[in-house]
Amino acid sequence: MVRTVKRLPEIAALNVMLCLLVVFIHVTSVPVTGYDKSSLQFAAVFFPWRFSGFVVPGFIFLSGLRMFLKGGNIDYGKFYLSRLKRIVLPYIAWNVIYYLYFILNGYVPFSLPALGLHLFRGDLVGPFYFIVVIVQLYALAPLWSLLVRKANVPAALLIAAALTFFLGQHLPGLLARIFPGAAFQYNDRVLTTYLFYWVAGCFAGANYERAKAWLLEQKKLVFIAFALVGLAEEIFSYISFSGLRYIGWLESLHFFYCVTAVFFFFTVLTYRYRNKDLTSRLAAGIDGAAYPIFLAHCLVLFVVNDVMARAGVGSITLAYAIRIAAVYTVTLGLCILWENAAAGIRRRRAANREKPALRV
């Protein structure tokens, strides 16, 4: 049975938070790599930057949740068509826009085969690999529907976690053993690296009220796990990234951090909005424009970087402040305006279709 749901405030709030954090990650990447690793400035930007590292797993979880939130009976024709129109075509369009910008600025020569490879691999712009991953997951929609209907939830989650933990770190080595000499460099854009977050999201969406109730019952355990794992993630990541000492098991720790962070923030926002709506117009605007913001913010970042380079802005701190102000303001403002205008056009078209035909 399909159940009709409005935009749930905790889901909208999580989407807004992830959207803002993905922009933060990219505007902060330059000072993270540019500051002296022993400086206080590096520590000041590194800790919140690393803290934000659960964003892609969070988006994967949220996408799986939304897919099954209205029930398990999916019309696959409509589903794939909607994903083509809403996800794939904008992704292609924005790849073309970025590629034209790079060509006009002399960063790359024009090459259709190269553009095609970038589209396939999702490596033209930093965050685009997420789209490649999510398309793989959407393509297997019948498999996830079967899993949600038939699988034992704890067993499925345990298997998905084990596969994600192992293949997320060792798939390239496994492929090299099977195919000697092969060097697989794209493990960050293969669905097995994010399988647990997707499967957890699918089960949460299909059993939404029960999932929320369980998390709220276990909120103390969720909070403690996040606090302990998050503290370890920050400390050992700083030790490794600052060059103090190599931490060989950091990726294993990062997996557990992402798991606890996704559950922690979903639980916090579920608790926060258990009897409330998301009343902020700005938050609602960001929620509605999250995908355009995801696609567009790096272009604004590139433009700002180019303008500052021509203006001779040499201070890392000043440049960072300018990036923060410009990228957030311009990207959010333009994307929200665009989505509001598009929504207005859709409403007018719908109203025109509903008008009764005039009789002569």
Cβ-proximal residues to 239 (8 Å cutoff; 6+ apart), any chain: 245, 247
Output the pTM of the full model.
0.93
- Residue in this structure with the two tokens 């098991």, named with its chain if needed: 249
Give the pLDDT confidence score for residue 360 in this predicted structure: 40
- Residue in this structure with the two tokens 């090459």, named with its chain if needed: 111
- Choose among 189, 206, 202, 203: nearest CA to 134: 189
147-205 residue pLDDT tens? 999 999 999 999 999 999 999 999 999 999 999 888 889 999 999 999 999 999 999 99
Q: Report helix, strand and coil shares of the chain as percent, to nearest 5.
A: 80, 0, 20
Cβ-proximal residues to 301 (8 Å cutoff; 6+ apart), any chain: 26, 27, 323, 327
Name the DSSP letter for residue 109: -
> Token pair of 10, please?
């905790």
Alpha carbons 148 and 166: distance in angstroms, whole number = 23
Give the pLDDT confidence score for residue 355 in this predicted structure: 64
Instruction: Give the pLDDT of the chain (360 residues) as one tens digit per residue.
Output: 333 346 899 999 999 999 999 999 999 999 999 999 999 999 999 999 999 999 999 999 999 999 999 876 889 999 999 999 999 999 999 999 999 999 999 999 999 999 999 999 999 999 999 999 999 999 999 999 999 999 999 999 999 999 999 999 999 999 999 998 888 899 999 999 999 999 999 999 999 999 999 999 999 999 999 999 999 999 999 999 999 999 999 999 999 999 999 999 999 999 999 988 988 999 999 999 999 999 999 999 999 999 999 999 999 999 999 999 999 999 999 999 999 999 888 888 877 777 655 444
Alpha carbons 191 and 80: distance in angstroms, whole number = 18
Give the pLDDT confidence score for residue 3 in this predicted structure: 37
Give the pLDDT confidence score for residue 346 in this predicted structure: 85
Alpha carbons 197 and 206: distance in angstroms, whole number = 14
User: Does residue 90 contact residue 295 with C-beta atoms inside 8 Å?
Assistant: yes
